[in-house]
Structure 1
Amino acid sequence: MDKNTKEQMTEEMADVQLIIGKILRLGVIISATVMIIGLVLLIVKGNGGYPHNAFPTDFTQIWAGIAELKPYAIMMLGIFLLILTPVLRVVVSIYSFYREGDSLYVWITTIVLVILGISFVFGILR
């Protein structure tokens, strides 16, 4: 690699790291905002929208609850968005390692992403 190519790669990696930081911040801000909206609705309505203060536990219930503006469903969406934030970071990291030409870390990070995906599937199927 010549000096110009190395400088471009360093600049691009700095940009990717900046994007990763923005993804994490934005994910937390969005999820916190959704949670606050759910909390405000809970205070206004006086209940979570479900009998016996149960929470929705699958995506079908969550989406249906969001359509009906049920506070607990909106709060669960906020939690889901918070969980999704580091997963997006893993995806961006795979790209970053690929661009760096670091195949070992591409594989390791891809394995982490697969493990996350499997855990989500098992969590849904439970």
Structure 2
Amino acid sequence: MDQSTREETEKIELVIGKLLRVGVIISATVILIGMAMFIISGHSGYAGASHPTTPSAILSGVVALKPYAIMMLGLFLLILTPVLRVVVSIYAFFKEKDFLYTAITTVVLVILVIAMFIGYAG
């Protein structure tokens, strides 16, 4: 590995580290905002035991400032953080011309996406 490739790898590793930190901080902040709204208002924004289960229901609940939907958005962002890390890793391996790891990481991404759709459909 030559010097420029090593420097590029270090930059990508820093980006991945920042991505994980920022993702966790943003998701935790969104969850805390939703919890604070829930505590202050005393209700989730939904009747009875109902809650948003689809991305569109979560987004419409966030637009309507429903505390439970805001907490669900925070959880979605938390789940999305490692998925974005996999995407950045694919780019990093491709940039390093490490096609075996690029393929393996792409398979991992496909498995994650399939698992999300199975969870969404279930």
**Corresponding position of 1:118:** 114
Deviation at 1:100, TM superposition (A): 1.1
Contact 1:35–1:74 (Cα < 8 Å) also in 2: yes
Aligned match for 2:46, one of 39, 47, 50:
50
Runs of 4+ aligned structure 1 residues displaced above 3 Å come to: none
For structure 1, which runs of at least 5 residues remain unmatched after alignment?
A: none
Structure-1-length-normalised TM-score: 0.93
In structure 1, C-alpha distance between the alignment counterparts of 2:49 and 2:13, rounded to whole Å:
41
Contact 1:47–1:53 (Cα < 8 Å) also in 2: no
In structure 1, C-alpha distance between the alignment counterparts of 2:118 and 2:49, rounded to whole Å:
25
Aligned match for 1:94, one of 90, 93, 101:
90
For structure 2, which runs of at least 5 residues remain unmatched after alignment?
A: none
Q: Find out whether 1:30 has 2:10 as its counterpart.
A: no
Percent of paired sites with the same residue? 56
Q: How many residues align?
A: 122
**What CA RMSD, in Å, does the superposition of the two structures yield over aligned residues?**
1.1
